[in-house]
Amino acid sequence: MKIRNIQDGDFLRISTNLNTWWGGRDMVDMLPRLFIHHFKDTSFIIEENGETVGFVIGFISPSHQEQAYIHFVGVNPKIRQKNVGRRLYEHFFQAVKDQGCKEVSCVTSPVNTTSINFHKKMGFSMKEGDMSRNGIPIHQNYDGMGQDRVVFEKFLEDGRGERF
């Protein structure tokens, strides 16, 4: 499997797979072309035999340049459990760390237990929320009315395994 920076030409390949990879949920509106066009330096795609098997879309915050944000990640369900997501995240962590970032954040829906478990395995902590449901801290209306989220943060480590 090969990881490379995402390119404008990857947009249709990725957007075509979104709803299928998410079990029929309508996800296409969550990833407009602008994310791929403007965040190529910090967004990556992984391919196997010329087929897209995963991607991560992320960026360095223009307002907080020591913070990076992962907006969207996707892995073909046929090859989950083969560390594709882990490889993409680790590649992203190194890329943003090389550019001076010390922290990475992201959000997910409280009902997405697969995402919550993945982020915990990747070393993310859940930030305290407005309420808790089944031990999960929830930020109510985080992305608008009725759009609750779990907010994650991860502090990157230096070469000695210590936080910056």
pLDDT in tens, 4-62: 999 999 999 999 988 888 888 888 888 999 999 999 999 999 999 989 999 999 999 99
Question: Domain 102-164 is classified in which CATH homologous superfamily?
Answer: Gcn5-related N-acetyltransferase (GNAT) (3.40.630.30)
Do residues 108 and 116 lie in contact, with contact meaning Cβ atoms separated by under 8 Å? yes
Distance CA(135)–CA(59), nearest Å, equals 29
Angle CA(68)–CA(95)–CA(35) in degrees, nearest 5? 55
Q: Can you give the pTM of this predicted structure?
A: 0.92
Confidence bin at 162 (pLDDT 50/70/90): low
Q: Backbone dihedral region of 59: left (phi > 0), alpha (psi from -120 to 50 degrees) or beta?
A: beta
Q: 72 and 89 in contact (C-beta within 8 Å)?
A: no
CATH architecture of the domain 1-62+71-101 equals 3-Layer(aba) Sandwich (3.40)
The per-residue pLDDT for 19 is: 86
Locate CATH 3.40.630.30 in the chain: 1-62+71-101, 102-164
pLDDT over 80 (residue 164): no
